[in-house]
Amino acid sequence: QVLMDRSLEAVADYIKSGQVKRICVMTGAGISTAAGIPDFRSPGTGLYANLKRLNLPHAEAVFDISYFRNNPDPFYVLAQELYPGKFYPTISHAFIALLARKGLLDMLFTQNIDCLERRAGVPADRIVEAHGSFATQRCIDCKVEFPEDKMLEHIQASRVPRCEDRECRGLVKPDIVFFGEPLPRDFSAKSPRASMADLTLILGTSLTVFPFASLPELVTRGKPRVLFNMERVGSLGSRPDDVLALGQCDEGVRKLAKALGWDEELDTLWRN
Ligand code: OAD
């Protein structure tokens, strides 16, 4: 066992000891709720609880590729609300950028499509966007990319964009992974990095969507896993070196940063 006890202070001591060379971070929608973006499954506030107006057969249909083919409108109603640009990174995003700056971040695996980790300053080559992102878009039939400026116009008007090729006219969809679509190759290529981590931080995810939810299981036994989340999820807490920081992830992250003596640096990075 490498931790003195199951506390964030013990995690900070472990990092300060110099034994930690590679940190893996795994994130979900909970790290962006403080930025004003709803998560999916929180009762009451989550996106899936607030989709009645879209008359979907079930909430997840809005991100289902076969549903989208026949009925793309509900997705484009939501896309207007979720489109990146009007949101700012949270303390949790800034902390991941700080880990990268200190040369400790081996890889960030995110399920989020809001691009806030890039915006916070996490280098692109350290990010695996497991569920894609809103950064690019293409025709779901001929796969040709669709221009960003035109996408923005359509999103703002909640209009469904169509392929510019007159022969095709297929539906255009942001390169986010819908249910029924494979994850980007990057995900399977980089997943083994999880087993090489000296420390794994898991933030703001219900760990309900596979294969992402199996990533924490790849972490080598004896290497600590720390969960920053409102609730206990997955198998976190079952291993002797698991640390549970239950509550707002920004608060947990601030506490860890303070124990590391990084709190001012974190604040400066976040504000700039
Ligand atoms: P969920 O909405 O399923 O889970 C968010 C988790 O974060 C829950 O456990 C919340 O309790 C927790 N949470 C919310 N706000 C928090 C805060 N401020 N501090 C700490 N914890 C907080 O979101 P994901 O796990 O990201 O996929 O969902 C996974 C995937 O399901 C998404 O990528 C999306 C969705 O369907 C696709 O659309 C393909």
User: What span, in angstroms and rounded, lies between the C-alpha atoms of 88 and 158?
Assistant: 22
Rounded to the nearest angstrom, the distance between the alpha carbon of 103 and the centre of ligand 1 is: 27
Sheet (strand 199-203) strand order: 127-129, 105-110, 23-27, 199-203, 225-229, 242-246
The percent of residues above 70 in pLDDT, for the chain, comes to: 100
User: What span, in angstroms and rounded, lies between the C-alpha atoms of 38 and 29?
Assistant: 7
Is 139 marked within a binding site?
A: yes
Has residue 197 got a pLDDT over 90?
Answer: yes
Is 142 marked within a binding site?
A: yes
Phi, psi of 233 (to 5 degrees): -135, 160
Give the mean model confidence (pLDDT) for residues 192-215: 98
pLDDT of residue 218: 98
Give the mean model confidence (pLDDT) for residues 135-162: 95
Distances (CA, A) of 243 to 18, 205, 240: 19, 15, 9
Per-residue confidence at 154, pLDDT binned at 50, 70, 90?
Answer: very high
Atom 33 of ligand 1, residue of closest alpha carbon: 111
pTM for the model: 0.96
Has residue 6 got a pLDDT over 90?
Answer: yes
Phi, psi of 221 (to 5 degrees): -60, 140
Atom of ligand 1 nearest to the CA of 177: 39
User: What span, in angstroms and rounded, lies between the C-alpha atoms of 114 and 40?
Assistant: 13
Has residue 86 got a pLDDT over 90?
Answer: no
User: What span, in angstroms and rounded, lies between the C-alpha atoms of 185 and 28?
Assistant: 19
Q: Is 58 a catalytic residue?
A: no
User: What span, in angstroms and rounded, lies between the C-alpha atoms of 117 and 129?
Assistant: 10
**Host H or E run for residue 256:** helix 249-260
Is 249 marked within a binding site?
A: no
Per-residue confidence at 1, pLDDT binned at 50, 70, 90?
Answer: confident
Any residues with Cβ below 6 Å from ligand 1, and which?
28-30, 33-34, 39-42, 46, 60, 63, 111, 131, 177, 179, 204-206, 208-209, 229-231, 233, 248-249
Atom 35 of ligand 1, residue of closest alpha carbon: 40
Has residue 272 got a pLDDT over 90?
Answer: no
Atom 13 of ligand 1, residue of closest alpha carbon: 30
Structure ipTM = 0.98
Closest of 245, 246, 199, 189 to residue 219, by C-alpha: 199
User: What span, in angstroms and rounded, lies between the C-alpha atoms of 62 and 48?
Assistant: 9
pLDDT of residue 81: 82
